[in-house]
Structures are given as C-alpha cells and as structure tokens.
Structure 1
Amino acid sequence: MTITQLKYVLAIAEHKNFTKAAEHCFVTQPTLSTQIQKLEEELDIVIFDRGKKPIELTEVGRKIVYQARNIVNEADRIQDIVDQQKGFIGGEFRLGIIPTIMPTLLPMFLKTFIKRYPKVKLKIEELTTEDILARLSEGHLDAAIAATPLESDNIKERVLYYEPFVAYVPDSHRLKDSKRIEPSDLNIDDMLLLEDGHCFRDSVINLCKALKEQVDENFQIESGSIETLIKLSNEGLGMTLLPYLHTLDINDQLKSNLKHFTEPSPAREVSIIYHKSELKMQIIEALHDVISGIIRGAIAFQNVEIISPRAK
C-alpha cells in the first residue's frame, strides 16, 4: 500500500470517474486503474462498485476513503514540518471566502500579502459557508475566511475581527429620523434580505428572531447581492442591514441613509478557519497577521454582541 495509491482512491471517490480522476492526478487512466486494482487485491476487498454510473463506493470503500484522507493529511504534514523548520512560507494555498466578505476584505489585504509573501501561490474561491465546510473536510481547501462561530468539530477558528451591522434606511422608511436604532426597532416584514444560502442572511434573521418568538418568513424581496439590496431600498421597498466594511464604499449622498445601532452593536465575528489537522499553519499564521494588522485601521468597534451566522 502506498500514499500514491491512497491519493488515487481519494480522487476517484471525489470525481466518481476513473478518467477524470486520472486527469486530476496527472497520470494515464490505465496507470490509475492498475494501482487501484493492486490495492484491492492486496486488501482482498472491492473499494469501488464499477457497475454503477457514476461509480460508487462500496460499504468498506467508504471506510477506507475516510481513513485514506487522514493518512494523506498526515503524510502532507511531513512536508509542513520541513517547511517550518526551514522557515519557508510558499507553495500553493487554496483559500475560500464567503460572498459577503470577499468584495470588501480581499482588496484590503491581497496586494500586501502578495508583496510580503511572493512565494505563496494563492488560489482564492468565493464559496458559501456550507461549501467551505465541505471542502475543508474533504481536503480541497487549506483555509477559509467566514463568519463564525460555526461549531464544527473538524474545524478550528481564529478570529480576525468583529464587524458591526449597520442599517441602511431610505428617506421613505419609518426609521428615517432615528439617529441611532435599537434591534427592537427592526421589523422582519420590511427587511430586504440576501437570498437563501448566505450566512449574513441567517444572522439578520437570527437578530430579528431574538426579538419575538414567532416570525413570519414570507419576506417581500430577497436578492443575491448587497448592492442590489441597497438599490431596492432606494426604491422604497424596505430597509436592509449591511456589514460595516460595505458602508465604506458607499458614496457620500447615500451615506446619510446609514444608521448605527446603539451599543452593544449587533455584529458578526469574522475568522480564518481551517481543518483540525492544521496543515500549512505557517501560511495561515501569515494570513492572520496581515489581515488582522490591516483591519485594525478600518474597524475600531469593540463593544459588540455577536450574532450567530448559522440558521436556527
């Protein structure tokens, strides 16, 4: 049994196709098939049910894949140990970022990070929280930036910053004359929300649900982007809540529509998250240091109340 064979097993389990798995591993399909056959013969079991389309794992195959992932991760840790011993910070690093964080945070730190760590090849994807957790668990991401806490046994979290919610209230809204607002002022019935799948949407719902036991979830409008919510709000269709960093790019004319909460402000906790196996920690530490250092100058809020990003 070899590490290479186990990597082939993981590739087939992911792609459910020998040809695609071979392309992913940069080998020919006959080479990959031969190695899988040798492994199955050595173990005297069948890992994949080749009669199914797409290919499926057998019952014992699922257990082998689980263990193979642990073994491959531990083997990768050896290279990590060597890199840390040499003080090397480089190589490919796969980073996921949720959609409500990516457009504001990425421009703030990316240029600085690339300049400081030119040997790191960042591969960045915009992903939902659920996709991030799945990919971290499967070893397809090295780390991610997301709203926390996520309460996942396989994931570790390191807080980067706390980002308050800010209300965007158009002139036609009942709260337009309020200088500061209370969470109790919110009414879910006139709240414009991001569409399902966004954890910021769940945070807003959780904030409103904390105010009353029953909430009618027949929302008037849902959208895929914060920018669209602002435009819809300007049309008099309701108010919305924004993450603080999004308010920094709003033009001066629209900034008069922003209303801050009384303290403690409802806020989201933003963290860098990674698998408990702690691979590539030197790059994770570097990302944490760069981002937290830059963000200190943009967010000075301390007295906040964290709202859960998970649907309840």
Structure 2
Amino acid sequence: MTITQLQYVLAVAEYQNFTVAAEKSFVTQPTLSMQVQKLEDELDVRIFDRSKKPISITEAGKKIVAQAKNIVNEAKRIKDIVDQEKGYIGGEYTLGIIPTVMPTLLPMFLKTFINKYPKVNLVIREQNTDSLIRNLQDGHLDAGIAATPLDIEFITERPLYYEPFVGYVPPSHRLRKEDKLSPEALDIRDILLLEDGHCFREGVVNLCKANQNFEDHFHLQSGSFETLVNLANEGLGMTLLPYLNAVELDERKKSNLKYFQEPPPAREISLIYHKKELKLHITNALREVIASVVRGAIKFQDVKIISPVSQN
C-alpha cells in the first residue's frame, strides 16, 4: 500500500470515473486503474463497484476512502512540519477569492506577496462562497478569502479587514439630498442588486430586512458592480458598493457616493481555511501581507457587521 495508491482511490471516489480521475491526477488511465486494482488485490476487497455508471463505492470502500483521506492529509502534514522547521515558505498554494473581493484586493497584495515569497507558487481562483466551502472541504483549496462569519464547523475564520458599505445615489434618487444614509431609509425595492450567489447581495438584503418587511421581487440583478453603477446612472435606482470598490470610481461618479451614519454597516472579510491547518506557515505569511497592505486603505474603526448569510 502506498500514498500514491490512496491518492488515486480518493480521485476515483471524488469523480466516480477512472478516466477523469486519471486526468485530474496527471497520469494515464491504465496506470491509475492498475494501481487501484493492486490495492484492492492486496486488501482482498472491492473498493469500487465498476458495474454501475457512474462508478459507486462499496460499503467497505466508503470506510477505506474515509481512512485514506486521513492518511493522505497526515502525509502532507509531515512535509509541513519539515518545511516549518527549515523556515522554508514555498511550494504550490491554491487560494480562492470571492468575485466581489478579487478585483479590488488582489492588485493590492499580489505583487508584494510574490516579491516577498518568491518560492510560493500561488494559484488563485475566483469562486463564490459555496464553491470555496466545498473546495476547502475536498482539499482542492488551501485557503479562501470570503465574507464572514460563516460559522461552518470545519472552517477557521481569521478576519483581515472590515469593509463599510457605501451608497451610490444618482441625482434623481429620493435619497440624493441626504447628507448621510441610514439603514432605515433604504428600500429594497429601489436598490439594484448583484445576482443570486453573491454574498454581498445577501448582506444588502439582510441590511434591509432588519428595517422592513421583505418581499422577493427584484426588478434588476447583475453580476458586476460596474453594471449596477451604470444602471443607477440611467435612473433605475440606487445601489450599495463595498468601500474599496467605491473609492476606485472616477471623480465624476464619486460625486454620487453617499456614506452611512456612524457606525456604518460593513462586511467582515476573512482568510478562511480547513481546521486541519495544512500549509499553515504559508497561510500565516499570506495573512500578514494582506493585513499590512489593507490597513492603510481602510481607516474605519467602528462598524456594524452585516452577515453574508441569509437570515430567513
């Protein structure tokens, strides 16, 4: 029995297909099939039922797969221990970032991080929160950056910064004359929202739910803040933006920004990772770099955190 064989078993269990598992494992399908077969012969038990499509896992196989995950993770932990003892920060590290954070945060820290830690092969993937959680659980991501709190049992959340909401209110809107916005003055019916699946959308909905009866009847939804701003400029409503998105607007559009009364509603952005804490030395280095570059960009101290999780 080898670690490689167990890794192949985990790949087949995940994809339920030998060909796909081989592609994901960067080996030929005959090589992977042969190694899985050798392990089954050695154990004298069938791990997979090949007569079904997709391939299913036998009852004994389910127990073997669960134990294989533990063994593979512990093998990876040994390498982590050695790297930390040597003070080595390097190797491949896969980071997922939610779409409403990626465009503003990534340019702020990426160059600093790769210059400081050139031996880290940082692989970055834009994913929504549900995908981040699933991929952290399956071991396809080492960490993620998402809006929190998520309160998921197997995930550790370490806040990076608190980003206030900012109103984008065109001249024709009813709130244009307000010096400062208040949550009580918001009306979900004239707020342009991101489409379903974005946690910032859920945060806006939750902010409005606290102050009014909510009915699910949005007229317009979009996948980008730029589109929402353009729609607002056409007189179709107002929208809310994260602070870092708002400050990047051109000067003409900045004239339409309205800030909230203190303390402003805000979202908590955290570095999240599995509680097994693999590659924790790289995770800590990443958090240190991000926190240091963001600290000077957001100066708000007292904020009211709005949960990204729907409160139905």
Q: Indicate the SS of the match to 2:178.
A: coil
The residue correspondences of 1:1-16 to structure 2 (distance < 5 A) are 1-16=1-16
Question: What amino acid is aligned across from residue 238 of structure 2 in structure 1?
Answer: M
Question: What amino acid is aligned across from residue 288 of structure 1 in structure 2?
Answer: R
The residue correspondences of 1:58-97 to structure 2 (distance < 5 A) are 58-97=58-97
What is the match of residue 305 of structure 2? 306
In the alignment, the residues of structure 1 paired with residue 279 and residue 166 of structure 2 have an alpha-carbon distance, to the nearest angstrom, of 35
What is the match of residue 291 of structure 2? 292
**Residue 52 of structure 1: how far off its partner (Å):** 2.2
In the alignment, the residues of structure 2 paired with residue 64 and residue 179 of structure 1 have an alpha-carbon distance, to the nearest angstrom, of 63
2:174 aligned with 1:174, yes or no?
yes
Q: Indicate the SS of the match to 1:196.
A: coil
In the alignment, the residues of structure 2 paired with residue 55 and residue 274 of structure 1 have an alpha-carbon distance, to the nearest angstrom, of 30
What is the match of residue 144 of structure 2? 144
> Which deviates more, 239-248 or 52-61?
52-61
**Residue 210 of structure 1: how far off its partner (Å):** 1.2
**Residue 248 of structure 1: how far off its partner (Å):** 1.6
Q: Indicate the SS of the match to 1:211.
A: coil
Q: Indicate the SS of the match to 1:181.
A: coil
**What TM-score, normalized by structure 1, do the two folds share?**
0.96
Question: What amino acid is aligned across from residue 65 of structure 2 in structure 1?
Answer: V
2:229 aligned with 1:230, yes or no?
yes
> Which segments of 5 or more consecutive residues in structure 1 lack a partner in the other structure?
none
In the alignment, the residues of structure 1 paired with residue 193 and residue 256 of structure 2 have an alpha-carbon distance, to the nearest angstrom, of 17
Question: What amino acid is aligned across from residue 231 of structure 1 in structure 2?
Answer: N
Q: Indicate the SS of the match to 1:96.
A: strand
Q: Give the fraction of aligned pairs with identical amino acids, expressed as a percent.
A: 65
What is the match of residue 207 of structure 2? 207
In the alignment, the residues of structure 2 paired with residue 252 and residue 284 of structure 1 have an alpha-carbon distance, to the nearest angstrom, of 36
**Residue 228 of structure 1: how far off its partner (Å):** 0.5
Matched pairs, number? 311
In the alignment, the residues of structure 1 paired with residue 32 and residue 299 of structure 2 have an alpha-carbon distance, to the nearest angstrom, of 54
Q: How big is each residue's C-alpha offset from its partner over 1:252-282, in whole Å with a ceiling of 9 and x where there is no partner?
A: 1111111111111110000111110101111
Q: How big is each residue's C-alpha offset from its partner over 1:218-253, in whole Å with a ceiling of 9 and x where there is no partner?
A: 011000111101101111111111000001210111
In the alignment, the residues of structure 1 paired with residue 45 and residue 263 of structure 2 have an alpha-carbon distance, to the nearest angstrom, of 59
What is the match of residue 276 of structure 1? 275
The residue correspondences of 1:159-170 to structure 2 (distance < 5 A) are 159-170=159-170
1:186–1:52 distance in 2 versus 1, CA, 3 Å: same
What is the match of residue 131 of structure 1? 131
Question: What amino acid is aligned across from residue 62 of structure 1 in structure 2?
Answer: K
> Which segments of 5 or more consecutive residues in structure 2 lack a partner in the other structure?
none
In the alignment, the residues of structure 2 paired with residue 257 and residue 66 of structure 1 have an alpha-carbon distance, to the nearest angstrom, of 54
The residue correspondences of 1:20-99 to structure 2 (distance < 5 A) are 20-99=20-99
2:186 aligned with 1:186, yes or no?
yes
**Residue 6 of structure 1: how far off its partner (Å):** 1.1
Runs of 4+ in 1 over 6 A off after TM superposition: none
**Residue 103 of structure 1: how far off its partner (Å):** 0.2
